[in-house]
Chain A
Amino acid sequence: MKLTKTLLATSALTVAAGAAWAESHMSSEMTLVSWGGAYQASQQKAYSEPYMEMHPDVAVVWDESSNEAVAKLRAMNEAGNVTWDLVDVVASDAIRLCDEGLAMEIDPEEDLAAAPDGTSAEDDFGDLLVSDCFIPQIVYSTTFGYRTDMVPEGVDAPSQICDVFDLETYPGKRALEKRPINNMEWALLCDGVAKEDVYDVLETDEGQDQALAKLETIKDEVIWWSAGADTPQLLADGEIFIGSTYNGRLFSVIEEQDQPVAMMWDAQVFDLDGWIIPTGLDDAALARVKDFVKFATDTQRLADQAKYISYGPARASSAPLVGQHADLGIDMAPHMPTDPNNAQNTFLYNYEFWADYRDDIDAKFQAWLAQ
């Protein structure tokens, strides 16, 4: 009995000493970079506040620079002075940062926590690990919202993507993003191209012309946005009838601000947002960041984030844990882009295609816009 106690005590001491040793080898400050606004607030509440409760000595600094993270990271890297420890970026940027050698490769087995039921992180995230450097957090979608009070009388509310291109039934301005991604795919879909052929068609010059020709039919009625907040504002002002933006933004227009706006989920495009760890961190900073990432991307933390914003957690094991909105008290599951009702017809952002064709198609698209 005594021996067991001694053994227990020693092992407890060893564990405590080990933890203390690890703690002392971690930096006590950490700079996290995110998008600001409601999204960053959700990360603070779900990830960093509980983490700081566990580690009261750690100071977490937030920087709202994710918008220009790729350019800034490159500049920091060239200057040899990386001041960020963890950066929130969309998946396509993560791929680019990985390609450029600006983001660190991670090992999901070692760096990420397994699911509570023992499923390995690699299986739990599954296909969403689109790059060796990318640690997914959320699935978001680019989809449409429309003014319910501007639907013409005697006509059903828009329910499919091609209604965006139908000026006769649904007159009024539209808002689309000022870049080819998503718009080209939607245009082709509504010009009779089958969903599975979209990228094969878009690879060719004729296909690109076809997509632009389809967009040309509504060009005069389109307001082109470049910030995610534009479309919600235009909808709230009644400037547009229908517009594309990120689903979380529409959620806040509809549920939090109570505007006469409704979602149109058809052909929504899934995309991912997550963390990357910049290359060139010193050992102490790296140890701290890895510790934080392991905590912040575990099953419960990802599920918690959905309490504050309507983006789907990137882990399969988090989905059943998604509960109610922290302030509004409404069920969040039906507002997730991944909810079966919403995800009847979806697209997944084709990272490989756009990594290759982005420069080329963008040049064409911008030339077309400017004319």
Chain B
Amino acid sequence: MSNASEAPTPDDGLRLMESADTGPVLAADGTPLKRSLGRALRRQKLRALMLIAPLLLFVLLTFIAPIADMLFRSVENQIVSDTLPRTVVALKDWDSTSGELPSEQIYEAAYYDIFIAAERKLHTRLGSRLNYELTGASSLFRKSGRGLDDIGEVYQDQFEDLNKAWKDGETWAQVMGSDAWLSEANSWGKSSGKLAPALELRDGIAELLPKTAESYSSFANFVRVDDGDNPASEDPWSLVYAALWQDLTSGADVSAYSGPNADLLQEAASAAQDFESISFTDGFAEIDEDWVDTPIWQTIKTYSPKYTSGYFLNSVDMKKTPDGPALRDEDQRIYGLLFKRTMFMSLVITISCIMLGYPVAWILANLPARTANLLMILVLLPFWTSLLVRTSAWKVMLQQQGVINDVLVWLGLVGDGDRLVMINNQFGTIVAMTHILLPFMILPLYSVMQTIPQTYLRAAKSLGATNWTAFWRVYFPQSVPGIGAGSILVFILAIGYYITPEIVGGTTGTFISNRIAYHISSSLNWGLAAALGAILLAVVLILYWAYDKIVGIDNVKLG
């Protein structure tokens, strides 16, 4: 006995640790136990992480990243400022609510931007983008791409009439480019497989002819990169002629210039004052009257920031206006209705699944295993059948000349003239989707019910409970985790369904996902689709959070 009492107990160890004066507890290798333990744990965690790393990476790369990228489009709006950089800056000072037209400087900036965009074939893309906000923008930009040539050609023709040399790309290259660049460019051949040498401006030319230098640089860069040609031998855009005219008439002192073709430039400078000219505003007005109206400029200004709330406003039936967000016209409001309908119908479908699935799961759980397995196949069989087949089968069943109506008419319950309308409406969608989603309710219910011992019910009854009380007070509470799991599965699946509503939903049974699909594949308004999707995702997460608060996610059992 005494030996036993002297033997060290775990308590002794604790007491030892608590006594500070003994120093830290050491592991066998002499390092402090705490550190050694930490190291071992860290290694274990790392090993666990490495085990799941492939899956984690896979999910990140193929699931999370694409979703994040897609959702990011709901605010992304760089296209406007990327395509019209000068215009966006120039429009900053324009008061879009004043009702006044933008100034000549803004038209000038727009001329340069749209001209270059048209050469790079980007203007129509911007047109489609702005057409989501302003009807007619699409054709306005398409037309302007062609029409803007007319403005520059006014000057191009006059320069060329003045001296044929201006027709020649080389004349321009000699004036604008440095000598080193010229000799390099002249020895370049397309067959070399490399890009032509990048333009290096002649010393001082950028100060002397700023607009010409800028537009010629854009031109040279375009020819070099996009066309893969040599800028030194290509004839410049009509835009460059307009820029030169602007520079010459705004007091450029070309007598200071002494490079090649100085005589040409001086001749042009004195003649340019008398050139026939056209204001950019008039040039735009000639292309389309819409350019001399405020809506297009308001739209460009409203959508000029790199990020926009426009798509999100759009998906809650609002729009951006110069005076801030405003509700859309009543006859264009649709998304609020569709969100509400999607929620409501998903809820109805979930409830119908509980009502139909609960008794089935109960029977399955209480039958002998052999019979239960046989019946289980009946539940799983539709689960394994193609979604499209099941939906189309419901069409055959429910349509007016379909099986159910035919039987009802044959039985004399319904007259041939007034067959029931059971498809292409909410009813059809709810029936078809309940059927399709039913296995997702039955399976978790079944696996939870299987774990509830039969003896509990018998015990309740032996203690005097009626059948109902025994079920409601004893059995049902234990099956709630199964209902929870099934409901979450069914509801979340239902909310994102789109094939079935599309086929059997008609006009009153369609979901928000049908509009998302439309914007992704037909209207190409991916920003709006992303915003609608983001809202849908947020709603699901909020509902999930609420569910966790109210029911508790710990109570959900999938098996």
Contact surface of A with B, Cβ cutoff 8 Å: 67-68, 70-71, 74, 96, 98-101, 173, 178, 209, 223-224, 226, 237-239, 352, 355-360, 362-364, 366-371
Contacts and interface: CB of A to CB of B under 8 A. Distances in A.
Contacts of B338: 370
B435 interface: no
B131 A96 contact: no
B125 A99 contact: yes
B401 A74 contact: no
Contact of A96 (B122, B128, B400, B424): B128
A355 B138 contact: yes
Given A74-B524, A364-B331, A357 B124 contact: no
B520 A238 contact: no
A356 B401 contact: no
Contact of B508 (A178, A352, A358, A370): A370
A100 B332 contact: no
Interface in B527-549: none
A100 B135 contact: no
Interface in B198-230: none
A101 B141 CA distance: 14
Q: Is the interface of A mostly helix, strand, loop or mixed?
A: helix
A182 B139 CA distance: 20
Given A100-B125, A239-B399, A359-B132, A224 B524 contact: no
Contacts of A363: 332, 334
Could you say which of B138, B338, B400 has the most chain A C-beta atoms within 10 Å of its C-beta?
A: B138
Contacts of A98: 124
B332 A370 contact: no
A70 B521 contact: yes
Contacts of B286: none
Contact of B124 (A74, A101, A366): A101
B131 A364 contact: no
A362 B518 CA distance: 11
A43 to B, nearest CB: 22
A-B interface, 4 closest residue pairs, ranked by CB to CB distance from nearest: A99-B124, A367-B334, A360-B135, A71-B521
A193 to B, nearest CB: 20
Contact of A99 (B127, B132, B136, B400): B127
Given A101-B124, A356-B131, A370-B337, A223 B506 contact: yes
Given A237-B399, A238-B401, A359 B125 contact: no
B142 interface: yes
Nearest to B145: A99
B442 to A, nearest CB: 31
A224 B402 CA distance: 18
B165 to A, nearest CB: 31
A132 to B, nearest CB: 10
B425 to A, nearest CB: 10
Contacts of A224: 424, 506-507
6 contacts: A71-B520, A99-B128, A100-B128, A226-B502, A237-B401, A370-B334
Nearest to B123: A99
Contacts of A67: 521
Interface in B477-504: 502
Contacts of A368: 331
B144 to A, nearest CB: 13
A371 B510 CA distance: 11
A239 B405 CA distance: 12
Nearest to B502: A226
A99 B138 contact: yes
A191 to B, nearest CB: 18
A101 B122 contact: yes
Contacts of A99: 124-125, 127-128, 138, 142
Nearest to B337: A370
A367 B333 contact: yes
Interface in B423-442: 424
Contacts of A356: 131, 135-139
A368 B337 CA distance: 11
B473 interface: no
Contacts of A237: 399, 401-402
Contacts of A223: 424, 506
A359 B314 CA distance: 12
B523 interface: yes
Given A355-B131, A356-B136, A367-B332, 14 more contacts: A70-B524, A74-B524, A96-B524, A99-B124, A100-B124, A100-B524, A223-B506, A237-B402, A356-B131, A359-B131, A363-B334, A369-B507, A370-B337, A370-B510
Nearest to A236: B401
Given A224-B506, A367-B333, A370-B508, A359 B400 contact: no
Contacts of A370: 334, 337-338, 341, 507-508, 510
A359 B523 contact: yes
Contacts of A100: 124-125, 128, 524
Contacts of B299: none
Interface in B353-405: 399-402
B121 interface: yes
B520 A359 contact: no
B331 A367 contact: yes
B124 A358 contact: no
